[in-house]
Each structure stands twice: as structure tokens, then as C-alpha cells.
Amino acid sequence: MTAELLWRTREPAPSYDAVVVGSGGHGLATAYYLARDHGITNVAVLERGWLAGGNMARNTQIIRSNYLWEASAGIYEHALGLWEDLENDLGRDVEFSQRGVLNLAHTTHDVRESVRRVNANRLNGIDAEWLSPEEVKKLVPIINISPELRYPVMGATYQPRAGIADHDEVAWAYAAAADRLGVHLIEGCEVTGFQRSGDTITGVHTSRGPISTGKVALCAAGHTSVLLDTLGLRLPLQSHPLQALVTQLLEPVIDTVVMSNTVHVYVSQVEKGELVLGAGIDSYNGYGRRGSFSTIEHEIAAAIALYPVFAHAHLLRTWAGVVDVAPDASPIIGLTPFNGLYVNCGWGTGGYKATPGAGHVFADTVANDRPHPLAEPYALERFTTGALIDEHGAAAVAH
Amino acid sequence: MLLIPCPWCGPRDEAEFGYGGQARVAYPEDPWALDDAAWAEYLFVRDNPEGWFAERWFHRAGCRRWCDVMRDTATNRIAGSGPTGAELPEVTR
């Protein structure tokens, strides 16, 4: 019996209607929605490494939409709505599990910010609740809610519809669905620059030769800024390592996702038993896919204070993804000063959870050559007009 | 873990330092002459290279002075450091 491949291996054609740069979750989703919703099926997704082997392979799988500002609530809730129908839509299991996400509050400031965010979420039609420490303990029996802790649990926000999904399965499901619609997924093909005629982009240079196209959609995270440097277009982006780790397989001890910004650790337990723990970003710029031990030390110290039972767990491996952070901790989606060139980047720590929503609104933006209504606030121009969407400190995770 | 060569204290653990981003971003000489785009460039846009990067570190748990460091953002190799504004080693890959 021959295993059925999820997508076909393609040679790059000399020309496409649209080229997507980067085959992470966002690139694959963008190509899928270009084909499904806009009838643009003559599309190539160009990937310098292997499919979904970059940051898509290096996140902690958390999905939620409990952001503060209206623009953020709009796009992340749009994504969550798509997540809720994703398995049906793509025809594959992605282990989507709406187990709920708690964001802990550890200071009186945290409490005020969190309650404000719960109210903002509700006004935006997003499910959100404020829980007391005792209510947190009911949902997470292993948590330490002793007031003796240096950063005691003073309550938590709770989004029941939030959860996790398997990142690899998500990428493969999008890849298979895009391939079925005729999209070419081309791995080992690095985009090195652009062909242009004046201010119009006419194609890309790649490690496997030139490809002409009328539309180039960049989904390359921090490398988007590296690529755009070749056009003299500077983006307000900084790349940072963001670390995570997993333990050995354990009996089920936690069946929801618990995040904490103040002490900076977040945890969930995947189906087969590993605890997946995430940290904050390393402060310095970096493209290396490993961060500093000091960040891991802080993360583990926080985890053991909150969940003493974790002291028994053995660490299996650590890794880092590279997050591209904009000054207001919000994405940049939209047109550029070049005709036919579109950017989707700056997602920082929010990229994975946004995957379907980002792909959906970005495909619409690329296909129609104008921002999707949900993408409008995320234009590059906001840094000149000053209309920032400041999710720093509001997004329930530090950047 | 980075081992950062403080020009005054010698090689010290990264945990002793605070990060200050790109080095040598000067305050505009004539702020009134800047239009919105130029202000945006000054406030928000920094280099983001995958490779050598001149950056600032503050030795907060040591001599409490700022220094400039030349570091490769892909490999974390450090080519050298100096007081702010000093010449740093020219590096090629």
C-alpha cells in the first residue's frame, strides 16, 4: 500500500497569478482562501526551507480572541470563528480543542486591567468571564492559590471558547486543501528579491530562477523586513526569539490552558500527555531559533511556584520561534507603496491563533487590491498617522 | 546565553544587562524640520538584520554604563564592544 501524500511536489512554473512567500500557517491559509474564495488558483507558495518548518513548528498552539482593542477583537474573533469550523471546512482533524483559556492576575493592577478586558470583550461579543481565585482553583485543581506566593493568584479572566489545535495538523490540512484546489506548494525555493517596473512589482527572484507574477503576498514574518530591505522599504519590525518547552508524558493533570503575563509562563497539556510551557520573548533581536537559559529559568520558576506538582516533571526539549514584533504589538496587514506587493507580518506572539483569520483577510486584501475591512486598521500608514493599536500590556501576554 | 563583553567589566552574563536596541539612533538635529513620515521613521523604524547588528546594552548589574556591541543576530557571535559611539570591528560573514 502506498501512502497518500497530502500535497504534490511541484517544479516552479515561470509565471503565476499570485505568489505567496512563506509556507507557514499564514502563507498556506492565504493561498487556500485565494483559491477557494477568490478563484485565484494559479498560485505558488514559495518556501525556502520545508513546509511549516519555521515559526509554525515552534509555537504553543494556543487559540484565543480575548484582546482589548476593537480592531484586535475584530480580527482575532474572526479567526476564532473560522477555527470553530476549520475541521469541517478543510476535511481533516486538527485536534481543535475548546478547553478554555485563563489569564491569571497577580497584582491589583492586573486585576483592574483584566476586569476591564473582560468588559471590553463582552462589549465586542466575545465570551469572557472574571473568576475569583477559588473559581480558578475549581477549574485548575493543581494550581497554588496561596496568598503566600510572591505573585499570588488574585483571579483570572476566562474565555471558554478558547483552546488549542495541533499546529502541524493545521498546516498539513491547509496544505492538502490548497493543493486540491491547484495551488503549487514549492519547498526549497528561497525568494531573494523582486522584479519591478517602476513602482510596480512584476515578479520575484528565487534560488530556482525568476518567477513573474502580478501579485506578491509576503507571509515571511521577520524575514519580510529583510526581503523588503532589498526594495529600500523599511518596516517597523523587530525579530525576537520566543521560547517554549515540553516535558515528558504525564498523566492528565490540567485540562485547560492557563496563562500568566506577570510571572510569564503559560501551560497546556496536549492529548498524549506532554506539558507544553511557554515563556516571554528574549529582549534582544534574534533570528537564532534558540533563546537564553535565563528566560527558561524564569519560566520554570514561575511554573513551579504556581503548579508545585510540575517539580516532578522532566524537561524533554526546548526551542524558540522567531516572533516579529511591531512597536504597538499589532500586525501589519495590507498594501505597500509598491503596486502588487502586499504584507502580512508583525504578528508577534499572536500569529498562530490568528492563522485562519489572517489568511482569510489577507487573501481578500490581495485579491481585491484594497484592505479587507478587518485589515484596514492594520495598514502600514498607522505609524505615520499615529493611529496605533496599542496591544502592549493589553494582549494578556508581554511582547 | 550571551556572554557580553562589557568594555569596563569584561565578559559578563547577559542576565546582568538590559537591552537597548539598535545603537546610534540619534535624536533629530532639528526636530521642527521633520514631517510625519520622518518622525515615524525616527520613532518606530529600526534595522532588523539577520546578521551583524550594532546594538546597545546597559550593564545594570555592573558598572551601570551603556555600551555598544556588534553581534550576529542569527548566530549570537559577538565581534566586539566599546563605549557608546566608539568604533566597532567591521565584520563580514
DSSP A347: B
Looking at the DSSP bridge assignments, the partners of residue A101 are A159, A257
Please check the confidence at residue B6 and state whether its pLDDT lies above 80. Answer: yes
DSSP label of B80 = E
Tell me which residue of A219, A197, A216, A190 sits closest to A18, measured CA to CA. Answer: A216
pLDDT band (50, 70, 90) for residue A317: very high
Q: Does A289 contact chain B (CB < 8 Å)?
A: no
Strands A216-218 and A341-345: parallel
CB count, 10 Å around CB of B66? 17
Which pLDDT score, from 0 to 100, does residue A168 have? 97
Report the run of H or E that residue A27 belongs to, with start and end.
Answer: helix A25-38
- pLDDT given for residue B58 in this prediction: 98
DSSP state of A124: T
Q: Supply A215's cell numbers.
A: 501579485
Given this model, what pLDDT does residue A308 score? 97
pLDDT tens for each residue of B30-82 = 999 999 999 999 999 999 999 999 999 999 999 999 999 999 999 999 999 99
| Contact check, Cβ <8 Å, B55/A383 | no
pLDDT of residue A390: 87
Residues from chain A contacting residue B14 (CB–CB below 8 Å):
292, 294
Asked if residues A260 and A101 have their Cβ atoms less than 8 Å apart, the reply is: no
Backbone angles phi, psi at B91, to 5 degrees: -125, 140
How many angstroms away from the CA of B64 is the closest CA of chain A? Answer: 18
Tell me which chain A residues have a C-beta less than 8 angstroms from the C-beta of B15: 292, 294
Of A283, A293, A385, the CB nearest to B19: A283
Nearest by CB to residue B15, choosing from A285, A294, A327, is A294
Q: What pLDDT, on the 0 to 100 scale, is given for residue A32?
A: 98
Q: Which three cell numbers stand for residue A139?
A: 477549574
Q: Which residues of chain A have a CB within 8 Å of the CB of B71?
A: 284
Using alpha carbons, select from A28, A35, A30, A33 the residue that is nearest to residue A7.
A28
B7-29, pLDDT tens digit by residue? Answer: 999 999 999 999 999 999 999 99
Domains of chain A, start order: 18-59+167-237+327-395 (3.50.50.60), 98-161+238-324 (3.30.9.10)
- Residue A4 — very low, low, confident or very high, per pLDDT cuts 50/70/90? confident
Above 60 in pLDDT, residue A395?
no
Chain pair A-B, CB pairs under 8 angstroms: 67
**A142-159 tens-digit pLDDT:** 999 999 999 999 999 999
Mean pLDDT of A104-115: 95
Contact of A90 with A173, CB cutoff 8 Å: yes
Residue A329's closest chain B neighbor by CA? B44
pLDDT recorded at residue A397: 55
CB contacts of A222 in chain B (<8 Å) are 48, 50
User: pLDDT over 90 for what percent of chain A?
Assistant: 95
Q: What is the mean pLDDT of residues A186-208?
A: 98
Which among B1, B39, B48 has CB closest to A285? Answer: B48
Would you say residue A25 has pLDDT above 80?
yes
Instruction: Give the pLDDT mean for A372-394.
Output: 91
Which residues in chain B touch residue A239, judged by CB atoms under 8 angstroms apart?
A: 48, 50, 73
The answer to whether the beta carbons of residues A246 and A275 sit under 8 Å apart is yes
Distance, first Cα to last Cα, chain B: 21
Q: Which residues of chain A neighbour B45 with C-beta distances below 8 Å? A: 234-236, 383
Alpha carbon distance B81, A130 (integer Å): 49
Does B89 contact chain A (CB < 8 Å)? no
pLDDT of residue A394 exceeding 90, the answer is no
Rounded CA separation A210/A319 (Å): 34
For residue A306, what are the CA distances in angstroms to A2, A26, A246?
48, 34, 17
As a residue count, chain A comes to: 399
Query: Mean pLDDT, to the nearest integer, of A67-81?
Result: 96
Mean pLDDT of A83-88: 98
Yes or no, beta carbons of A285 and B40 under 8 Å apart: no
Catalogue all structural domains in chain B, each as residue range(s) with its CATH number. Answer: 3-83 (3.30.2270.10)
Mean pLDDT across A240-263: 96
Residues B44, A236: C-beta atoms closer than 8 Å: yes
Cα–Cα distance list, A331 to A342, A378, B41 (Å): 13, 6, 17
Q: Sheet harboring A209-213: ordered strands across?
A: A15-16, A209-213, A200-206, A191-197
Judge whether B55 is closer than 8 Å to chain A, CB to CB. yes
Grid coordinates 497554588 are at which residue?
A: A144
Q: What is the nearest CA distance from B16 to chain A, expressed in angstroms?
A: 11
